[in-house]
Copies of this chain bind each other. A is one copy, B any other.
Amino acid sequence: MNAHSGEAAQHREPAEQHQDTGLRARLVQAGVELVGREGVQALSLREIARRAGVSHGAPRRYFPTHLSLLSAIARQGFADLAARVTEVLGAGRPDPRAGLMTLARLYLDFARTNRGMYELMFRHDLLESNQLGLRETSLPLFTVLVDLVRQVEPRTEIPPPVVAGALWANLHGIAQLWEWGSLQLATGADDVEPLLRATLDAHLGPEGR
């Protein structure tokens, strides 16, 4: 990520996460807070600039277009998600099956508690999808998923990347349809947990196996 070593530290701040006073970082920060508080539709360029305390023309020096600013905000979201994953999975994790369950729950939880950000992260019409550094941010996450799948089921005719892809798509679909309310309406459920267990059982085989 990053890709912008040139910008970051003019003053060599001691890397304490607090206040990178550069406007670039302030804009992203303002965008992150804004999307968290008011959702994607609040992320107009001018409003972000307002929250950052600058004029509407200021962001243009760092982000040539609105989409590039939104992309930077979304990139922050991917980074946060990845951080949570490594934080949770980094600690000793003997059982890959349990790890996958944790990962799945984490994914859905992230989508639920960061609605706006999650929506932004998958609104390809708002992002520079084909730009370097965006999908690449979510790729290592996917390899983590593939590795876990490979561990939990080393022998099957279906290649682990395909299983992982199907599982990811399933989680993504659940996150989206659940937030939308469609799944509640369709299945009559009010808790996503059974759906989640059914999904993991489906892709990985039943728990006991």
A interface, CB within 8 angstroms of B? 39-41, 119, 122, 124-125, 129, 135, 138-139, 142, 158, 161-166, 168-174, 176-178, 180-183, 185-189, 194-195, 198-199, 201-203
Contact = CB atoms under 8 A, between A and B. Distances in A.
A165 B187 contact: yes
B166 A169 contact: no
Central interface residue in A158, A170, A189, by most chain B CB within 10 Å? A170
A173 B129 CA distance: 17
A158 B198 contact: yes
A176 B122 CA distance: 9
Contact of A169 (B163, B177, B189): B177
Given A182-B135, A183-B169, A198 B41 contact: no
A91 to B, nearest CB: 25
A43 B56 CA distance: 26
Contacts of A173: 168-174, 176
Given A125-B40, A169-B174, A169-B177, A161 B188 contact: yes
A162 B178 CA distance: 13
B163 A198 contact: yes
Given A161-B187, A161-B188, A180-B129, A198 B166 contact: yes
